[in-house]
Structure 1
Amino acid sequence: MELFFQQVLNGLTLGGIYSLVALGLTLVYGILRVPNFAHGAFYMVGAFASFHLMVAWGLNYWVAMAGAALCVAVLATLAERLVFHPLRNASGLHPMIAAIGLLLFLEAGAQAIWGAEFHRMPTPYGGMVEVAGVTAPVQRLLIIGAAFALMLALHLFLTRTVMGSTIVAMAQNRDGASLVGIDANRVAMLTFAISGALAAVAAALFAPINLVFPAMGNLVITKAFVIIILGGMGSVPGAIVGGLIIGFAESFGAFYISTDYKDIIAFAILVLILSLRPQGIFSKGAH
């Protein structure tokens, strides 16, 4: 039972990170209706920014995380203005190619600045605590608590604030939202900023128990796409549920089957669920 609960803890850790990344991705998809492949690069930049602020500038972990979130939010907003906004009337293929180009550009930039080698971010909370008979690293508990707190905060923002309601309205019907006076440009910029900040925070939370390197966002963004397809394209609840499903599946699959198949399990689950429910778990889009 102790090993079982250890896998539950690992599943919640992975699920929380995946859900945060997928939430940012699904918010952008709800506005643009275009998969943002550059989102993985935003995740990578967030990890390097927090790493640099801690190691080079000696800042506190939480200050470094906030600084990374701000940097990536600005970067994502600039990407929306300079890359995606000029292509708003182009076919879906053009923004996708632009997103891939932005991904490669940011990866090359990170490699030029920090090098191609792997970096390890200092662990701010390296202690262990015992919870219900299970020994748990403090950093993993921090990831779980912070990730779900951010999900709750995002839910309250989208459902209880006027600005959040404009994002939901734009995701549901862009033309209708414009007709009632919602500024599409402002909403798009805000959505990209929130998306980038979520990716940066997820990276800063996960970096102390993972490695930081220029290509680190590639596998994460691939799984994030699996999650939003699994949960239903454009669905915020679907991104959260899909992230938890993939997180638990990877954790238990790696323990009870083999770590060699850990990354394949996500795609096997995608095929299984979509064969039963092709529209995804939540099929009505962003709520």
Structure 2
Amino acid sequence: MELFLQQVLNGLTLGGVYSLVALGLTLVYGILHVPNFAHGAFYMAGAYSAFFLINKLGLNYWWGMLGAAVTVALISVLSERLVFHPLRKAPYLHHMIASIGILLFLEAGAQALWGADFHRMETPYTQLLTLGSLTLPAQRLLIIGAAFTLVVLLQLFLTRTITGATIVAMAQNREGAALVGIDATRVAMLTFAIAGALAGMAAVLYAPINLVYTSMGHLVITKAFVIIVLGGMGSVPGAIAGGLIIGFAEAFGAFYISTDYKDIIAFALLVLILSVRPQGLFARGAH
């Protein structure tokens, strides 16, 4: 039972991080209607921003997280303004190629600034807490608490505020939203900023137990794509549920099967679930 509960903790940790990244990705999908491959680079940029602020400038962990969120939000908005907005009437293939270009540009920039080595981000939460026979790393508890707090706050923002409602309306029907007076430009910028901030904070939460390196966003964004397909493209509840499903599947699969197959489990689940429910788990609101 102790080992089972330990895997529950690991599953919640992974699920929280994946949900944050997938939420930003699904929000941007609602605006572009194409996958934003640059989102993995935003995740990486958040980790490097916090690494610089914490390890080089000596700021504490929380100021580093705030700085990373702001930095990645600005990078994300600049990407929308300088790259995606001029392509808004172009074929969707152009958006996909442009997002890959942003990904390569940001990764090359990070490697030029910090090199290709792996870096370790400092965290003040290195304690090991014990609950009976369970060992609870403080950083993992922080990830769970912070990630699900952010998920709840985002859900409240989208469902209980007028600004959040405009984002949902634009994701459902961009042309219809513009016809009723919603400023598409402002909503697109806000959506990209929120998505970037979520990716940056997810990276800062997870980096202390997973190192910082230029390609750290590749596997995370690949799994985020799996999550939003599982949950239903464009579905916010689906992104949350999908993140938890993948997180638990990886944690239990690595323990009970083998760590060698941990990263394959997400794709096996994708095939299994879509063979039963092709539209995803949350078809309502999906595109």
* Shorter-normalised TM range: over 0.9
* Match in the other structure for 1:9: 9
* Match in the other structure for 2:93: 93
* Match in the other structure for 1:245: 245
1:190-221 Cα shifts (integer Å, max 9, x gaps): 00000000000000000111110000001100
* Match in the other structure for 1:165: 165
Give me the whole-angstrom Cα distance separating, in 2, the residues matched to 1:134 and 1:5: 8
Q: What is the deviation of 1:123?
A: 2.5
Give me the whole-angstrom Cα distance separating, in 1, the residues matched to 2:163 and 2:89: 24
Q: What is the deviation of 1:131?
A: 3.1
Amino acid at match of 1:12: L
1:100-158 Cα shifts (integer Å, max 9, x gaps): 01100100000000000100111220001123541100000000000000000000100
Q: Which runs of 4+ in 1 moved over 3 A?
A: none
Amino acid at match of 2:105: F
TM-score, with structure 1 as normaliser: 0.99
* Match in the other structure for 1:234: 234
Amino acid at match of 2:103: L
1:240-261 Cα shifts (integer Å, max 9, x gaps): 0000000000000000000000
Secondary structure of residue in 1 paired with 2:117: coil
Amino acid at match of 1:181: G
Q: What are the equivalent positions in structure 2 for 1:19-58 lying under 5 Å apart?
A: 19-58=19-58
Secondary structure of residue in 2 paired with 1:221: helix
* Match in the other structure for 2:138: 138
Contact (CA 8 Å) 1:30, 1:286: kept in 2 or not? no
Contact (CA 8 Å) 1:15, 1:244: kept in 2 or not? yes
Q: What is the deviation of 1:285?
A: 2.0
* Match in the other structure for 2:214: 214
Give me the whole-angstrom Cα distance separating, in 1, the residues matched to 2:282 and 2:30: 14
1:41-76 Cα shifts (integer Å, max 9, x gaps): 000000000011000000010000000000000000
5+ residue gaps, structure 1: none
* Match in the other structure for 1:257: 257
Amino acid at match of 2:185: N
Secondary structure of residue in 2 paired with 1:130: strand
Amino acid at match of 2:117: E
Give me the whole-angstrom Cα distance separating, in 2, the residues matched to 1:285 and 1:15: 22
Secondary structure of residue in 2 paired with 1:65: helix
Give me the whole-angstrom Cα distance separating, in 1, the residues matched to 2:83 and 2:142: 35
Give me the whole-angstrom Cα distance separating, in 2, the residues matched to 1:121 and 1:210: 9
Give me the whole-angstrom Cα distance separating, in 2, the residues matched to 1:18 and 1:132: 29
Give me the whole-angstrom Cα distance separating, in 2, the residues matched to 1:15 and 1:285: 22
State the superposition RMSD in angstroms. 1.0
* Match in the other structure for 2:70: 70
Amino acid at match of 2:184: A
Amino acid at match of 1:153: L
5+ residue gaps, structure 2: none
Contact (CA 8 Å) 1:171, 1:286: kept in 2 or not? no
Amino acid at match of 2:261: Y
Of residues 46-55 and 277-286 in structure 1, the stretch that sits farther from structure 2 once superposed is 277-286
Give me the whole-angstrom Cα distance separating, in 1, the residues matched to 2:18 and 2:124: 21
* Match in the other structure for 1:266: 266
Q: What is the deviation of 1:286?
A: 5.8
Contact (CA 8 Å) 1:123, 1:209: kept in 2 or not? no
Identity %: 76
Give me the whole-angstrom Cα distance separating, in 2, the residues matched to 1:151 and 1:280: 20
Secondary structure of residue in 2 paired with 1:23: helix
Q: What are the equivalent positions in structure 2 for 1:62-211 lying under 5 Å apart?
A: 62-131=62-131, 133-211=133-211
Give me the whole-angstrom Cα distance separating, in 1, the residues matched to 2:61 and 2:286: 33
